[in-house]
Amino acid sequence: MTIDIKAMLHRIVAEVFDETFMIEQTTSSKNPWMHTVRVANPAIPERTAIICATYEWMEVFIPELKVTGTIFEYDDVEEDKGNALRPLCIAMRMYLDGEGRIEQKRRLFRRGTVPVLYLDIDGMECYLGRNCWSIPY
C-alpha cells in the first residue's frame, strides 16, 4: 500500500500547530515529489519554518537563520514516518513560539560565524545548524 505523504504531512502539521499559526502549502516545480508547507506565527512575524516530507526523508528549514534538520525514514509504514516527522514539527513549533536559544558558532575552515539553534525537547537537547543537526525521536 502506498503512503500518501502529502496527507500525512498535513495531518501531523495540523496536530502540532493550532489555528493561530499561518500554514501555507508550497510547491516546487523542480521537486514535485517533495511536499512542503510554510508555517508562521503572526505573533512573531520574523520567524518562519518550512517543513518538507518525501518517502525517504523529512526536513525542516528556518530561512532567516539558514539552518536545517533532517530525519531519514525508509520504512513503508505510515506510522513510522509520522513518528519521524512529529519531532521536527514540535521543534519548529517551539522555535515559532519564541523558545530556544540561538548561538553564533565559529566556522571550522573559514572566517566568521554561523547560527545554531538549540531547543530542549522533553529534556533532550536538540540543535539545528547549517551543516549539523541533532533531533531526538
Contact 45, 63 (CB under 8 A): no
Could you tell me what percent of the chain has a pLDDT over 70? 96
Q: For the chain, what are the domain ranges?
A: 5-100
Beta bridge partner(s), residue 102: 117
Please report the pLDDT score of residue 29 as a whole number: 63
Say if residue 73's pLDDT is above 80.
yes
Could you tell me what percent of the chain has a pLDDT over 90? 55
d(CA 136, CA 122): 9
Q: What is the pLDDT of residues 19-29, one digit of tens each?
A: 999 999 987 66
d(CA 68, CA 59): 7
Please report the pLDDT score of residue 28 as a whole number: 67
d(CA 137, CA 127): 13
